[in-house]
Amino acid sequence: MRLVLASASPARLAILRGAGVEPLVEVSDVDEDALLAELGPEASAVDTVTALALAKARTVAARVAAVEPECVVVGADSMLFLDGELVGKPGSADVARGRWDQMAGSTAELFTGHALVRVGGGAPGQELAGHARTAVTFSRPTTAELEAYLASGEPLSVAGAFTLDGRGGWFVEGIEGDPSNVVGLSLPLTRRLLAEIGVGVDALWAASAGPRTAPVG
């Protein structure tokens, strides 16, 4: 039973590899902006990240079923709930700077939606979804530190304009909840979802120990 990661995130891939699992990687290319527009501004943080994760997992499951007839696809999406607003990747230094003006010295909540689709007999089947929430408390970087962090490019393409496992970790005072969720994939939640479809972590370890297969995407 192979695990397929429906994400281009290096951090999510690193989490799984560090936990003993070598997944196949297939990027979903879901139109996130279109899905967010469809959900509307009234959608809750939980509904938003879960819907995005499920869309990614479903898209990839349909694509890989023919070449990986027995696998589990995992999709995930993270967003930061900050001052009553759900924010994702800033995309530019100006937006990231504004986020840090809000975050510095405060606490925000990082939500990650998780979705699994089990592929069996060459067809997508059972689906499960859940979410994890972790409170993150930020310190106050100096102006020089923040500008150097923005110039590194790291915060521009990550949810909430920060990382825990990279340069942004210097500015995280503490967390309440699962640290792997902040990095991008909650291992405890993923394990619980896998158990519900009858897949143990030991099975993923065994599959990862076998011959390597090139990514399908």
**Residues recognised as catalytic:** 77
**How many residues are listed for the chain in this entry?**
217
Rounded CA separation 18/59 (Å):
26
